[in-house]
Structure 1
């Protein structure tokens, strides 16, 4: 008897659509009502799904805020690893780190409205503001370990840790400017401008 299940591609599209609906509903509600005041049930009602469906995708409410973090951090590791293959003798960890973040800028450039809602949600909750620090630390650690690995150094290599910290600091400043600028500039262009500024500052030192 033929299967009545949707084709794998259709099932995946339906899952993606449900996930997107939950994330969009959650971000709008977090920004409007505050993270702490928004319940899973409220999110589900707005997305027109059941709480059981919600927990099929997310273990906790706060996971909705950074659903693509693992995939994007994996991409960061891949870009750093590729840099080591292209020029394994290049010792400049900072250049590699900034190039990896530039690759991510293209992915994030289309998510400005969602990131604005995400930032507004974080403002509403002291707990989320603390969690944001942990998220930034995870990005920095991911980058540092990848930079160390490309040179065969241990994960706590000081040069890699320093380069990762510097790169994430630049990234934070650039993303903040991007979100604040009403002209909606290109994220990649802003990052390139910041990196060029670092180069000029270094040449004057």
Structure 2
């Protein structure tokens, strides 16, 4: 298997495990779902599951570390003031999820079944907020923590609206910033 095929296979396996877990969590609840059942649904062994995820709740990770890096990179490359930079970073985040509405909806239904999963989502959002605030602080932005918290809050609310009503996630994020009076 060539390196490209191997990486695609790994990505496909990870996605299959994630989707199987989310479906099971949403249908049966987090606590009632075993790793063995998730692995069987994805056509792999439980041992394989643990090559991709350290714990069952890690399935809700949403590319946490990759997204943190993307937020930092957008902030570092952006021009403008604090609020405009936050808007650009959060719009970038939204664009990364824009084609994944059904999967995000499934993730939210799964999280509703367990405080563990809701905590995992909260932790992911908090990590993005921290990455954003750190990158803004490195640029010398005043009120970096407040700007980052507002930006991630806009993302969370826009995402919930998008899952419920459809439309364009980036447009909803933009409207959220407009409602806060942020400049582009």
- TM-score when normalising by structure 2: 0.93
Query: What is the correspondence of 1:4-83 to structure 2 with a 5 Å cutoff?
Result: 6-83=1-78
User: Which of 145, 154, 174 lines up with 2:134 in the alignment?
Assistant: 145
**How much does 1:133 deviate?**
2.5
Query: What is the correspondence of 1:86-101 to structure 2 with a 5 Å cutoff?
Result: 87=79, 90=80, 92-101=81-90
Segments of 5+ residues of structure 2 without an aligned counterpart are none
Segments of 5+ residues of structure 1 without an aligned counterpart are 1-5
Please tell me whether Structure 1 or Structure 2 has the larger radius of gyration of its CA atoms.
Answer: 1
For the pair 1:129 / 2:118, whether they are aligned, the reply is: yes
**How much does 1:136 deviate?**
2.0
For the pair 1:110 / 2:99, whether they are aligned, the reply is: yes
For the pair 1:169 / 2:158, whether they are aligned, the reply is: no
| RMSD (CA atoms) | 1.7
In 2, Cα distance between equivalents of 1:8 and 1:131? 32
The answer to which structure, 1 or 2, has the higher relative contact order (CA under 8 A, 6+ apart) is 2
**How much does 1:119 deviate?**
0.6
After TM superposition, which residue ranges in structure 1, 4 or more long, deviate above 6 angstroms? none
Query: What is the correspondence of 1:189-204 to structure 2 with a 5 Å cutoff?
Result: 189-199=171-181
**How much does 1:173 deviate?**
1.4
In 2, Cα distance between equivalents of 1:105 and 1:79? 13
**How much does 1:132 deviate?**
2.7
In 2, Cα distance between equivalents of 1:19 and 1:197? 38
- TM-score when normalising by structure 1: 0.84
C-alpha offsets along residues 26-82 of structure 1, whole Å, 9 cap, x if unaligned?
Answer: 111111001111010000110110111111111111111114111111111100000
In 2, Cα distance between equivalents of 1:12 and 1:131? 26
Query: What is the correspondence of 1:176-195 to structure 2 with a 5 Å cutoff?
Result: 176-181=160-165, 184-195=166-177
In 2, Cα distance between equivalents of 1:180 and 1:67? 19
CA contact (8 A) 2:68 2:128 kept: yes
CA contact (8 A) 2:60 2:120 kept: no
Structure 1 range deviating more: 111-120 or 132-141: 132-141
